[in-house]
Amino acid sequence: MINEEKLKEFAKLVRCFSLASTTMAGSGHPTSSLSAADLMTCLLFGGTFRFNVDQPGHLNNDRLIFSKGHASPLFYALWAAAGKVPEEELMTLRKFGSPLEGHPTTAFPYTEVSTGSLGQGLPAGVGIALNARYIDKLPYRTYVLLGDSEMAEGSQWEALQIAAHYRLDNLIGILDVNRMGQRGETMYGHDMSAYENRISSFGWETIVIDGHSFHEIQTAYEKALHVKERPVMIIAKTLKGKGISFIEDKPGWHGKALNRDELGKALEELGEIDRTIKGEISKPENIKPENQSPKEINEPSYDDKPVATRKAYGNALKRIFPAFPDIVVLDAEVSNSTYSAIFKDEYPERFFEMYIAEQNMAGMAIGLSSRGKIPFVSTFAAFLTRACDQIRMSRYSDANIKFCGSHAGVSIGEDGASQMGLEDIAMFRTILDSAVLYPSDAVSTEKLVEEMAKHKGISYIRTTRQETPVIYDNEDKFTIGGSKTLRSSKDDVITVIAAGITLHEALGAYDALKKDNIYIRVIDLYSIKPIDEETLKSAAESAKAIITVEDHYYEGGIGEAVRSAVAGERIAVHSLAVRKMPRSGKPAELLDYEEISKNAIISKVRSLR
């Protein structure tokens, strides 16, 4: 163990940095930083943590996640004490343009994943630990600093279950039980047995300590290294604002910086501080993972037999994996419905069952992405809405995740409203720089899954429950940002824009109207975002009106996307979308009921002629 007196000097330094930087910023969370200062000082500089400070991306580095991201002043102070953040840069905390943001983001090179929305760090840590144990098979450990308030989040308990299920003995949680939340005492205060009993019941090894005893902290870290086949949670009793008497364990100080006079008093209490000391962090091993080289793959192969796009999704994952060997597939206990089971049967070592815990699944995907993997995450479209916050946060971690929502829309039929994804397009469209895809047949699904694997960033593909005709050739090309004009002539009076299940309704309407010499242009808007503005504007120039048809709520869906794309054009856009309370019934009945069927399109076209 490292000399305790030396560690105490580092702890004073990081406390000083945390206080000074927040005072300079005029905001922040110094008291939350002070409660965990001893825990983190012992971790980084006590000989346990292994990290090459000059290579933050080193594959064998231990990983550190501040799930309690509001303690970012401490996070930055630690790296300042390690000599990687100059003190003058530390004083740019929370200033515009500084990488030292109010909560950690990947703009700061030592941040693994962006945090701050509570309950996010542990799921990401589980993903990183899973990668080390089962995929890269590297010896690094993942440490996650947790706040006691965030243990009320359900995502934490989802993560606790999965971590124990996969026996992640390379995952170590550090729970900072300082008892004070934002508005008062936390649910269990300083009842350490409440945390120990609950966490241990989930299959974790628990170690309860005084979070300000350097001996107990170091002993706990040493013990954690020797636990086998189960994750470890160090449950530390701490005091918010520890080290400064007038804020220590006092209410009303959450998220409040000291003014300059108060800072002066606090620094006096800390005593003499050696700003020249530099903390040494142990170096990691240098083991290389076994990487697979990409291989050539064949085109998809479909005949005229109808195939559900959800099944084509599973076929595509199996087909493209040799070309994208970094793919990892996660599913929330519906792989026999999303058809990711096709991949599982072929590559079981790259498939991980997440059970019905969608928040944790999305969080783990963030962690896997941070380690260079390409997670494909699938469940019913309706259930992805549970993980909206994790999906939102994934963008702030610059994650490269592919989401698949199956069983979308009222067309799923008798299962009823609770199972119908009708908000998913809107949700994913709001994610900055996301791609939102909605294929209509097996070929377009396969080609778009392959494009998703090539694409860097967050992308979403919406698949359909029922079988649909194959309308494209196996050699057809599809691009993110593209569309397909399937029917057009010089006599077109109306342009109908659809995607997925409603495209087939539009094609049926075309055939019926053609018999009466009424011609419509039919566009497959398989890429809802980014959208093919050029094609849509061209259609707007030559048509009397545009009709959009979608098996999704009106708000945030295809209609609004098209309306935005042609906003500068003088054309009316009419949207057929789900506007009534969904109910159980046959798919055809429900499409008619919601007025998004072939019959509804025909009626609307006739009314606009």
Percent of the chain with pLDDT over 70: 100
Structure tokens at 413: 């039929």
Structure tokens at 236: 């530390």
Range from 73-82, 284-293, 526-535 carrying the lowest mean pLDDT: 284-293
Structure tokens at 185: 């005492």
The backbone torsions φ and ψ at residue 379, rounded to the nearest 5 degrees and listed phi first, read -165, -175
The Cα 575–Cα 563 span in angstroms is: 9
Percent of the chain with pLDDT over 90: 97
pLDDT at 145: 98
DSSP 8-class letter at 421:
B
The residue among 138, 112, 108 whose CA lies nearest residue 123 is 112
**Which amino acid is present at 75?**
F
pLDDT at 223: 98
Question: What is the DSSP track for 55-100?
Answer: -TT-TT--EEEESSGGGHHHHHHHHHHTTSS-HHHHTTTT-TT-SS
The residue written with tokens 């969080």 in the block is 363
pLDDT at 320: 98
Q: Is 323 exposed, middle or buried (0-12, 13-18, 19+ CB in 10 A)?
A: middle
Are 549 and 603 spatial neighbours (Cβ–Cβ below 8 Å)? no
pLDDT at 609: 83
Are 522 and 485 spatial neighbours (Cβ–Cβ below 8 Å)? yes
The residue among 439, 478, 443 whose CA lies nearest residue 460 is 439
Please state, rounded to an integer, the average pLDDT across all residues of the chain.
97
Are 116 and 37 spatial neighbours (Cβ–Cβ below 8 Å)? no
The Cα 154–Cα 227 span in angstroms is: 26
Q: How confident is the model at residue 34 (pLDDT cuts 50, 70, 90)?
A: very high
pLDDT at 192: 97
The residue among 122, 127, 145 whose CA lies nearest residue 234 is 145
Please identify which of the residues 9, 158, 358, 594 carries the catalytic annotation. Answer: 358
Are 379 and 331 spatial neighbours (Cβ–Cβ below 8 Å)? yes
The Cα 206–Cα 385 span in angstroms is: 33
Residue 2 has pLDDT above 80, yes or no: no
pLDDT at 3: 85
Give the Å distances, CA to CA, from 396 to 83, 458, 477: 26, 11, 31
For residue 1, how many other CB atoms are within 10 A of its CB? 15
pLDDT tens, 308-346?
999 999 999 999 999 999 999 999 999 999 999 999 999
The Cα 509–Cα 33 span in angstroms is: 63
Are 545 and 608 spatial neighbours (Cβ–Cβ below 8 Å)? yes
Structure tokens at 214: 């350097």
The Cα 398–Cα 404 span in angstroms is: 19
SS3 state of residue 576 = strand
- Domains, the chain, ordered by start: 4-270 (3.40.50.970), 307-468 (3.40.50.970), 484-608 (3.40.50.920)
pLDDT tens, 357-379?
999 999 999 999 999 999 999 99
Range from 285-294, 408-417, 442-451 carrying the lowest mean pLDDT: 285-294
The residue among 168, 199, 217, 215 whose CA lies nearest residue 63 is 168
Q: What is the dihedral of CA 593, 594, 598, 600, to 10 degrees?
A: 90
180 φ/ψ sector (left φ>0, alpha ψ -120 to 50, else beta): beta
Q: How confident is the model at residue 406 (pLDDT cuts 50, 70, 90)?
A: very high
The residue among 502, 34, 28, 476 whose CA lies nearest residue 243 is 34
Structure tokens at 110: 């030592």
Range from 119-123, 126-130, 276-280 carrying the lowest mean pLDDT: 276-280
Structure tokens at 331: 């599913």
Tell me, yes or no, if 358 is annotated catalytic. yes
Query: 3-state SS of the chain: helix, strand, coil percent to 5?
Result: 40, 15, 45
pLDDT tens, 517-530?
999 999 999 999 99
DSSP alpha helix (H) spans, 324-455: 335-338, 341-346, 358-370, 381-384, 388-396, 424-429, 442-454
**Do strands 435-437 and 374-380 pair parallel, antiparallel, or not at all (unpaired)?**
unpaired
Q: How far, in whole angstroms, is CA 145 from its chain's centroid?
A: 19
The Cα 338–Cα 421 span in angstroms is: 13
**Which amino acid is present at 239?**
L
What global pTM score does this model have? 0.96
The Cα 132–Cα 134 span in angstroms is: 6
The residue written with tokens 């902290």 in the block is 217
Residue 67 has pLDDT above 70, yes or no: yes
**What string of H, E and C letters represents the secondary structure of 404-438?**
EEECECHHHCCCCHHHCECCHHHHHHCCCCCEEEC
pLDDT tens, 142-170?
999 999 999 999 999 999 999 999 999 99
Q: Mention every residue, 6+ apart, whose C-beta is less than 8 A from residue 161.
A: 202, 203, 355, 357, 360
Q: Mention every residue, 6+ apart, whose C-beta is less than 8 A from residue 100.
A: 21, 72, 76, 85, 89, 90, 92, 93, 94, 108
pLDDT at 1: 60
Question: What is the DSSP track for 214-275?
Answer: HHHHHHHHHHHTT--SS-EEEEEE--TTTT-TTTTT-TT-TT----HHHHHHHHHHH----T
SS3 state of residue 145 = strand
